Amino acid sequence: MDKSEVYREANDRFNRIVSKFALVEQHPREYGTGELLNRSRIHFIAAIGQEPLITVTKASKVMGLTKGAGSQLASRLADEGYISKMRTVGNAKEVRLILTKKGETALATHDEFHRSLFEKFADGTTIDQAKNFNTILKKFEAYTDYYLADGRF
């Protein structure tokens, strides 16, 4: 198999994975609260859990969302009791986010879900293979960012 065939096969596999993830994205899961959360909502909660008192702007950036979309998502999660929003002293425009007990429960269940997935994924994989895979993913992300920024999609 020559280099172009390897890249074509990798591209085909990547496109299948993206399509499958799009299907996964459509199906919300329950994360210990008795309520269903879709992927974007639970990962927004995870971003807040990783950095308590994160700003809406930074959480949006971590998630690859516009500030407006992140702000709307934060408002919905606050209304549902997963997070609390606080204004920064001295800067009324800056909103910081923190998890509530309900949000902490969802995050803990989500983290356990990911630990289980990682164990299955990592089984039989060396650390060097994982590092190489991560390097390739970074290149895919940079490629995607380039096309999004350039408006070529």
pLDDT > 60? residue 92: yes
Alpha helices in 31-100 (DSSP H): 39-50, 56-63, 67-79
Q: What is the pLDDT of residues 61-82, one digit of tens each?
A: 999 899 999 999 999 999 999 9
The CATH code of domain 3-116+125-150 reads: 1.10.10.10
Please name every residue paired with 97 in a beta bridge, in sequence order, or none if there are none.
54, 85
Mean pLDDT across the chain: 90
Q: What mean pLDDT comes out for the span 45-69?
A: 93
pTM: 0.75
pLDDT > 90? residue 54: yes
77 or 23: whose pLDDT is higher? 77
118 or 78: whose pLDDT is higher? 78
Sign of CA pseudo-dihedral 31, 58, 23, 4: negative
Q: What are phi and psi of 151, to 5 degrees?
A: 70, 30
pLDDT > 70? residue 153: no
Sign of CA pseudo-dihedral 138, 139, 145, 148: negative
Q: What mean pLDDT comes out for the span 99-128?
A: 92
Domain extents for the chain? Answer: 3-116+125-150
Residue type at 20? K
Segment of 12-16, 106-110, 122-126 carrying the highest mean pLDDT = 106-110
pLDDT > 90? residue 7: no
Write out the two tokens for 31. 């994360």
Write out the two tokens for 138. 């970074």
85 or 148: whose pLDDT is higher? 85
For residue 37, the model assigns a pLDDT of 96
For residue 114, the model assigns a pLDDT of 87
